[in-house]
Structures are given as C-alpha cells and as structure tokens.
Amino acid sequence: MPLSPRVADLTSFDLLRSVAELGSIGRAARAHGLSQPAASARLRLLEDCVGVPLLERLARGATLTAAGELVVSWARSALDGAADLEAGIAALRGGHDSQVRIAAAVTVAEYLLPGWLVALRKVDPDTSVALSSGGSEEIAGRVLSGAAEIGFLEGPAVPSGLRSCEVARDELVLVVAPDHPWATRRRPARAADLATTPLVSCLPGSGAREVLEAAVGDQDGGTVAAPLLEVSSPTAIKSAVMGGIGPAVLSTYAVVGELAAGALVRVPIAGLDLTRRLRAVWPSGQSLRGPARDLLAIATRG
C-alpha cells in the first residue's frame, strides 16, 4: 500500500537520528554535508510532516522531545534497511568498493585484524586493504576526516562524532622477566606500586596507557610513575621486559605466547580493573558499506 504523506523522506529521519547522537543540529549538519540553515529547515519540514514537535532547541545544542525519541526508535530499522538496499544496488552496478581503509590501534592491528582479514578475503576476495595504526586521537581523526572508513579503538572513551560497536574484551596484565624480583613476590601488586615504579610503556595516546592511567587515577587520584622507557609497539615492549629493563603492563593478546613459554611472568594486580572494551568506530550519521560493513560483521562474530 502507498505510504502516508506523513511519512517523510528517510534522509530527514537520518538527520534527526544524527541530532540525537551528536547533540546539536550544527554537528549533525556537518556529518551530512549540509549547512546548518539547510539542516534546520529540513528538520522543521519533518516536524510539520509528522505533526508534533520532535526537537527542543537549546542555547547550546538540541535534544529530542519524547516524541522525537519515539520517531527515531521507529525509524532505525528503516534506515538500516535503506543502507543495506543502497549497498546492494551499488554491488549490482559493479560499484562494490575494491578497497577498505582501516585505522586501528596497535593491539587490534597486530593481534586481531590478521584473522579478521583472512575471513574478509573469503567474503570479498577482490578487496585490497590499506591499514594504518596509531593512538586514539589519530585513529579518530582519520575516520572523521574520511581517510579511513572504519577504525578500531582500545582506549576508555569514544571521541565525539563517532558511532561505535564493541568487538572484543581485553585485559591488561602486569608482566616481568623471570629473574625480576617481582616474579616471585607473594602479594599482588597494587595501584601504589604502579604509581611509584617506572614501567616500560607504549607512547602517549595509546589505548593501553590511557586505560592504565585512568585506572590508577581512580585510586585516590594516583598517577602512574614517569615511564622508564617509551617504545612504539607491544613487540618492542616485550623485548625490553624480557631483556630485564623493567616491568610493563600489556594486553593479554600480546603476551599469551610468552607467558605460556615462561619467557614472561604475570604479576597479579589487586584493586584495579584493567579490563577494556575494544571498539569499531565510524562517523555518526553514516552507515558502513561494502567491505567495511563485512569487516565489522566478522569482528563482532569474534
């Protein structure tokens, strides 16, 4: 049956969803490539079409009314279906992207992405991959600028302007060389130990470092001691620890083999939650398409 004239075009509902996610009409307009006056006009037409106020316009930003929240919740499945339809039509036209650009935190890039990309090759055999890695700010910047279709973060927060989906859980562990004094200690390490002991650390801006600093900071406002050595990758950190330079806090993904072989020793930590969520991110107000969408599906399956 024909749709009622009170059902506006889907792009207007998508714009309304972006306002809900980003908190302002201006930010939603930028995400959709519109001027703020054009976005405001489109939203007012949507309200006229629906027949009830959908937005509460504030001095700074905008929030959805109760009716607006309901409309967005009802529209989500239609918007997702429209994105699938658009991707399918593009594939029929031969426009299925042949390259996916990924920005990933080092842990994800080194220990999770290889398996995901093998699975992606089976789904999209003609797809090439361009991968860059870095800290949380760098990854967010690449995704927001369009330099990458999808990013993977390991920090404690998702930057503004990005949608996210959890793809894995990780735990940071304290490790030392077998001949380090902490290898045989009887009591677990505590936040105070990490606040006073220089560690071999990754560079500022890395997800692992952000999680550790936030966890220690939650313990009476403590701070992590200045690093003994800063290096750019988990592999380099492991080499430094095994060489006897000092302890380090690393992802379990990075050290599982060395712990099993006895090349590193895990030191229990009491009173700190060092579990972290690894997330896929992409721009708010947009839907993943082609190989990027396939990669997200593979990552969320584990």
From 65, 92, 119, give the residue that closes a domain. Answer: 92
From 92, 108, 127, give the residue that closes a domain. Answer: 92
Beta strands in the chain (DSSP E): 55-57, 62-64, 99-104, 128-133, 150-153, 162-176, 200-202, 229-231, 248-251, 265-267, 275-283
Q: Which domain holds residue 118?
A: 99-168+277-301
Between these two residues, 180 and 98, which has the higher pLDDT value?
Answer: 180
- Please report the pLDDT score of residue 87 as a whole number: 64
pLDDT tens digits, 40-88: 888 988 888 888 998 998 878 888 899 888 988 888 888 877 777 766 6
The number of domains in the chain is 3
**pLDDT-derived band at 95, boundaries 50, 70, 90:** very low
**pLDDT-derived band at 1, boundaries 50, 70, 90:** very low
Instruction: Evaluate whether 194 touches 249 at the Cβ level (below 8 Å).
Output: yes
CATH number at residue 154: 3.40.190.10
- Please report the pLDDT score of residue 164 as a whole number: 92
> Do 290 and 158 sit in the same domain of this protein?
yes
Three-class SS state of 89: helix
In a domain, 3, yes or no: no
> Do 111 and 251 sit in the same domain of this protein?
no
The count of C-alpha atoms lying within 13 angstroms of the C-alpha of 164, restricted to the half-sphere facing its C-beta, is: 20
In a domain, 5, yes or no: no
Q: At what angle do helices 10-22 and 66-92 cross, to 10 degrees?
A: 120
Residue 6 has pLDDT above 70, yes or no: no
> Do 285 and 211 sit in the same domain of this protein?
no
Instruction: Evaluate whether 108 touches 134 at the Cβ level (below 8 Å).
Output: no
**In the structure encoding, which two tokens stand for residue 236, read together?**
């380099």
- Is 138 exposed, middle or buried, given 0-12, 13-18 or 19+ CB atoms closer than 10 A? middle
In a domain, 177, yes or no: yes
pLDDT tens digits, 233-260: 888 999 999 999 999 999 999 999 999 9
The owner of tokens 């959805």 is: 64
- Please report the pLDDT score of residue 8 as a whole number: 63
Output the pTM of the full model. 0.66
> Do 182 and 269 sit in the same domain of this protein?
yes
> Do 180 and 270 sit in the same domain of this protein?
yes
> Do 60 and 118 sit in the same domain of this protein?
no
